[in-house]
Amino acid sequence: MAEMVVRPLTPRDIEAWVGLRHKLWPAESATSLRDELATLAADEFAGFGAFEGERLVGFAEVSQRPYGDGCDTAPVAWLEGIFVLAEYRRRGVGRQLVSAVEAWALAKGLVELGSDAELDNLTSRLSHALWGFAETERAVRFRKVLS
């Protein structure tokens, strides 16, 4: 087994990155997930990948937001998404990715990292706790279609 390396994702990683993004957000098309990456501002967004040899086994995406729900400072870094292939979970890969995100945020002078998870996603909520996040609030959102 090759050593795990976490590094910034680059254009040469796009296809593998989009493949993992699609596993995290399966309701979105691979095309829309690829197109979205092209529109993100490099100075306010970064992607990090965990590689075993040449294989991308996980990724994390972070952005700088003007504010973050539950955060006390502004602007904040926001963990937009994180995903690790099932066979690589519970091996510290997520922690390594979050550490890369934290380093990116600190280098930008940001002092808080926010994130969110669906209320019913217990795995994500437990993972966030293990990575050192503290739950700040819960929300249920509503909508009403007007005609």
For 29-80, the pLDDT digits (tens) are 999 999 999 888 778 999 999 999 999 999 999 999 999 999 999 999 999 9
In the predicted structure, residue 15 carries a pLDDT above the cut 80: yes
Name the architecture of domain 4-130.
3-Layer(aba) Sandwich (3.40)
pLDDT of amino acid 42: 78
- For 108, half-sphere exposure in the C-beta direction (CA atoms, 13 angstrom radius) is 24
Domain ranges of the chain: 4-130
In the predicted structure, residue 2 carries a pLDDT above the cut 90: no
Percent of the chain's residues with pLDDT above 70:
99
In the predicted structure, residue 1 carries a pLDDT above the cut 70: no
Query: Considering the entire predicted model, what is its pTM?
Result: 0.92
Measured distance between the N- and C-terminal CA atoms of the chain, rounded to whole angstroms: 58
d(CA 83, CA 58): 5
